[in-house]
Amino acid sequence: MLAHTPLIEITPPDYDVVVDIRYATAHNFTNKAVYARPACFLHPDAATCVRRAIAYAADFGMRLKIFDAYRPPEAQWVLWNHTPDPNFLADPAKGSPHSRGVAVDLTLLDAQGHEVDMGTAFDEFSPRSHHGAEDITTDAKRNRLLLLGIMTSAGFDFYRNEWWHYQLFNSRTYDLIPDAHSGAHMMPT
């Protein structure tokens, strides 16, 4: 990848998704806004995969709802300083796939626009959030498997501890993107 490849903003109608950037609100595990504004940016390679995932979800009468995508390294530090748990957050000293613009956190919406049951909320840092968790309903297991199939067919890898997190394969081969060079203007609040 070329250093500082411009990120692509993922917005309707160009991308048929619902964007609900949780870290721009207090509706996240920190209980405060981490981003200054709710924007969804991805590296062009990841944006291509999201476009494929949108089409695959549509085949099932569903849509994607995106909770997070590009995350400035400064914001990764805010999250890490709040909850330094390497089972659920990348150590910012090593860099996160989110801070490279190649990761997306998301869920599925049914035909009526409601989030489907995934067994836990987004960012529930517990074993119940792991792929393969047994103590969730059959419907939640089915929905997680459907999202897994959609996202991996679209070209993403998954993170075993978070049903909502998908990233490009070989994510560490992509450069960390400081906010000043991303065009995202999402510096932490």
What structural domains and CATH numbers belong to the chain? 8-182 (3.30.1380.10)
* Residue 186 pLDDT: 53
* Residue 1 pLDDT: 39
Read off φ and ψ for residue 87, nearest 5 degrees. Answer: -75, -20
Mean pLDDT of the chain: 92
Among residues 74, 124, 134, 162, the one annotated as catalytic is: 162
Pick the more confident residue, 28 or 178: 28
Q: Is the pLDDT confidence value at 180 over 90?
A: no
Mean pLDDT throughout 151-162? 97
Q: Is the pLDDT confidence value at 2 over 60?
A: no
Q: Is the pLDDT confidence value at 3 over 80?
A: no
**97, two tokens:** 């796939």
Read off φ and ψ for residue 9, nearest 5 degrees. Answer: -80, 130
* Residue 4 pLDDT: 66
**70, two tokens:** 């590009």
Read off φ and ψ for residue 104, nearest 5 degrees. Answer: -140, 140
Told to judge if 162 belongs to the known catalytic residues of this protein, a careful annotator would answer yes
* Residue 134 pLDDT: 95
